Amino acid sequence: MFKIILGFILILLGIFLGLYIGLWVMLIGGIVQIINAVQVHPVNALGVAIGICRFLGAAICGWISVFACALIGLGFIKSGLKTI
């Protein structure tokens, strides 16, 4: 029973982690980085490029973090169901 509960907690953790990494760190962080790099007097081209890469990679990083935690959680659920 504990493995099943732990599995569901890991799946929920993966969803929240995916939202945090995908939306806040990558998407919003990338936009803020682009804005800050453009506001500098000599425009920081590296900052703009990294910000664009963060912006474009937001979805894939979010989904990878969701699937990583969800697969581990599903493994716990599957092993917990075998013992019942």
Task: Give kind and range of the element (H or E) at residue 24.
Answer: none
> Which amino acid makes up residue 17?
L
- Please report the pLDDT score of residue 82 as a whole number: 84
Contact 79, 14 (CB under 8 A): no
Q: Is the pLDDT of residue 83 over 80?
A: no
- Please report the pLDDT score of residue 35 as a whole number: 96
How far apart CA 45 and CA 74 sit, in angstroms, is 43
pLDDT in tens, 37-80: 999 999 999 999 999 999 999 999 999 999 999 999 999 999 98
- Please report the pLDDT score of residue 75 as a whole number: 95
DSSP class of residue 57?
A: T
> Which range (10-14, 24-28, 62-66, 79-83) has the least confidence?
79-83
Among 30, 16, 19, 22, which residue's Cα sits nearest to residue 58? 22
